[in-house]
Amino acid sequence: MEEKGEKLCEAARIGDVAGVTSLIDAGYDVTYFDADGFTPLMYAAKLGHHEVISKLLEAGAPWNALSPSSLSAGDFAMQNGHQDAFDLLLNTGVQAELILGTIARKEKENSHSDGGYLVDRVSFSEDKLMDADSKAVMMAWEKPLMESHAKAVCSGGGHVLNVGFGMGLVDMAIQQYNPVSHTIIEAHPEVYDRMLRNGWGEKENVKILFGRWQDVLPQLGSYDGIFFDTYGEYYEDMREFHQHLPKLLKPGGIYSFFNGLCGDNAFFHVVYCNIVSLELENLGYTTQLIPLPVKDCLAEEVWEGVKQKYWQLDTYYLPVCQYTDDSE
């Protein structure tokens, strides 16, 4: 078994398309991990053998398998500048996740959620908001990002909606633009209490809706700028929020969201940036991803006492979404 796997790794490494094809036909295992923790696909990606990659993927090699240092075949292609190999892996990743998403949505129709994070205690400190499991809900290093999000969603003035208060960083920044109205949705009772204690209930242009965005939808109007950043939810929840954008966002309005999608792996992040842009495009929105360097705000100490390092990339891609009228 091991010998067969080694042979496949070797053929992948040297880019031997005919060799890889005959080994696959002979039933060699494309999901094999060698003693160093690499798959045949990772070797082919490192060296940019895109025909071999294509054969391996067709035979069911896992595009999302991770090496011991948490890198996937796509990361290796990206790091080594193999554009064709990268495109092939990206396309496979996007297609696979789109299909999985459809399956997951079908399954969810039959399941019920138990309240999760929203019924647990949270703790506040100066530089972070943590859940009961020592995972960070929100951290102060994101302040410059939140300021950029606020700038984007306030660029047209008017009425602004923010979903998820957290530490209030984006809301403080939105207030600087003095919008006509500023609606904030927050579902966690302790975060909500803290908002009130800090005077958010008395601000003239602020309207707070306490509850899950899913539940307060009927109380919403339409807005010139919308920002979305919840916690304890999945990509599917944000996707569901996006289905409401045509009602919530005024023509010419700007939508943005916290782009933490797979923030711990560079390649998976690209896959998800593509998926979200595609899905928004299907709803009629164009998405611009504005690169912001974040390396300098992220010293190692930032993560002390935090269970999950949810962001590990050097660049943050700030999404700016707008409706495109094709008839123009």
Select the span of 33-41, 61-69, 181-189, 272-280 touching ligand SAM (CB under 6 A): 181-189
User: Considering the complex, what minimum distance in angstroms separates the CB of residue 289 from ligand SAM?
Assistant: 18
Token digits of residue 72: 């996937």
Query: Whose CA is closest to 149, among 15, 257, 296, 273?
Result: 257
Distances (CA, A) of 199 to 61, 138, 184, 208, 230: 55, 20, 13, 11, 21
Closest Cα to residue 231, out of 121, 312, 118? 118
User: DSSP 3-state assignment of 162?
Assistant: strand
CB-wise, 137 or 152, nearer to ligand SAM?
137
Residue 174 contacts ligand SAM per CB under 6 A: no
Query: From the CB of 257, what's the least distance to ligand SAM, in Å?
Result: 10
Instruction: Report if residue 164 touches ligand SAM, rule: CB under 6 A.
Output: yes
Which has the closest alpha carbon to 276: 287, 265, 262?
Answer: 287
62 or 232: whose CB is closer to ligand SAM?
232
Contact flag: residue 170 with ligand SAM (CB under 6 A): yes
Task: Yes or no: say if 78 and 42 are a contact pair by the CB < 8 Å rule.
Answer: no
Task: Report yes or no: 53 and 44 within 8 Å, Cβ to Cβ.
Answer: yes
**CB nearer ligand SAM, residue 16 or residue 147:** 147
Contacting residue, 231, 255, 303, 323, with ligand SAM by CB under 6 A: 231
Under rule CB under 6 A, residue 169 binds ligand SAM: yes
Considering only residues 116-155, where is the footprint of ligand SAM by CB under 6 A? 137-138, 146
* Residue 165 sits in the site that holds ligand SAM (CB under 6 A): yes
Q: Which residue, 48 or 168, is less far from ligand SAM as judged by CB?
A: 168
> Token digits for 290?
């504005």
Taking alpha carbons only, the member of 275, 309, 270, 313 closest to residue 292 is 313
Which three-class secondary structure state does DSSP give residue 292?
strand
Stretch that binds ligand SAM, among 1-9, 57-65, 163-171, 266-274 (CB under 6 A): 163-171
Task: Tell me the helices (H) and strands (E) count for the chain, helix number first.
Answer: 13, 10
- Return the number of the residue (50 or 188) whose C-beta is nearest ligand SAM: 188
Residues that bind ligand SAM (CB under 6 A): 137-138, 146, 163-170, 185-188, 191, 212-214, 229-233
